[in-house]
Amino acid sequence: MKGQKGLKGDTCENGTKGEKGDKGDLGLQGQDGENGDKGEKGDLGEKGLCGDPGERGERGEKGEAGIKGEKGSKGDAGVEGIPGMNGQEGEKGEPGSKGEKGDLGPPGVMGPVGPKGNPGSKGARGTSGKKGSRGIKGSKGDSSKARRSAFSAGLSKSFPPPNVPIKFDKILYNDQEDYNPSTGKFNCSIPGAYVFAYHMTVRGRPARISIVAQNKKIVKTRETLYGQEIDQASFLIILKLNVGDQVWLEVARDWNGVYVSAEDDSIFTGFLLYPDDIFETLT
């Protein structure tokens, strides 16, 4: 039997060189080597075929203006152009001379009736008419004197006490004495319609003013002030009163900023507008 291949022996120093063996099979491709040195420039080759046109380049910068050329000869007349648009309206001309009067035209449609004219001047006085017959004598009427009731009074002290009638003790008018300055109340002696009004100076603190009639607060008003501000508060009302009814003014607690001084007044006023029996007189 053929034995296994033995190990390679040592090189013999005295051995002769054998003949060149046959060329072996092509081995695997080796790794790329490094680039060699650049060779010499070759001869110029033949001209190649013309390539495709390139893309259009960007627009170059404007060149300098050239020398002005000589004026050319006048060209032939062109074809007639399209008529242009109408120009803007010109300024109004001066009025022309007045023409001759034309013939009278046909009558137009009748227009609407015009507005009423101004009254004419007063005519001459006519003749006096005949005197009429004497009428029947009427019955003698009752002689009556107009009934009056009015007052107006001012305040002499600032910041009156709250929740009680304000005593306006500076009498300006009180001929019928229907107002009592010691109580601050007006007492109705003639039944009818009355007008009551007040004009108050308010300073330094707020004021809530009420008109009291027939023992109830008919009207409530207020004026809000603080510091050293000064303002005026006014009010007017018409009330129907019976004999014995009383009317006065009050301020609320912490809202009693009614003020008076040598330069500022606070006034309470009332008067009879008409009595109840005026309707019986008219009928």
Structure tokens at 32: 């790329």
Q: For 136-161, give the DSSP string.
A: PPPPPPPP-PPP--EEEEE--SSSPP
In angstroms, the CA 238 to CA 195 distance is: 5
> Which of residues 248 and 14 earns the better pLDDT score?
248
pLDDT of amino acid 167: 97
Domains contained in the chain, CATH given: 150-275 (2.60.120.40)
pLDDT of amino acid 218: 95
**Which pTM does this prediction carry?**
0.49
Could you report the per-residue pLDDT of 152-166, keeping only the tens digit for each? 999 999 999 999 999
Q: Where are the beta strands (DSSP E) in 62-159?
A: 150-154
Torsion of CA 15, 16, 20, 22, to 10 degrees: -40
Could you report the per-residue pLDDT of 159-192, keeping only the tens digit for each? 999 999 999 999 999 999 999 999 999 999 999 9
In angstroms, the CA 166 to CA 181 distance is: 9
Amino acid in the structure at residue 223 = E
122 has a pLDDT exceeding 80 = no
139 has a pLDDT exceeding 70 = no
Residues 230/259, Cβ–Cβ less than 8 Å: yes
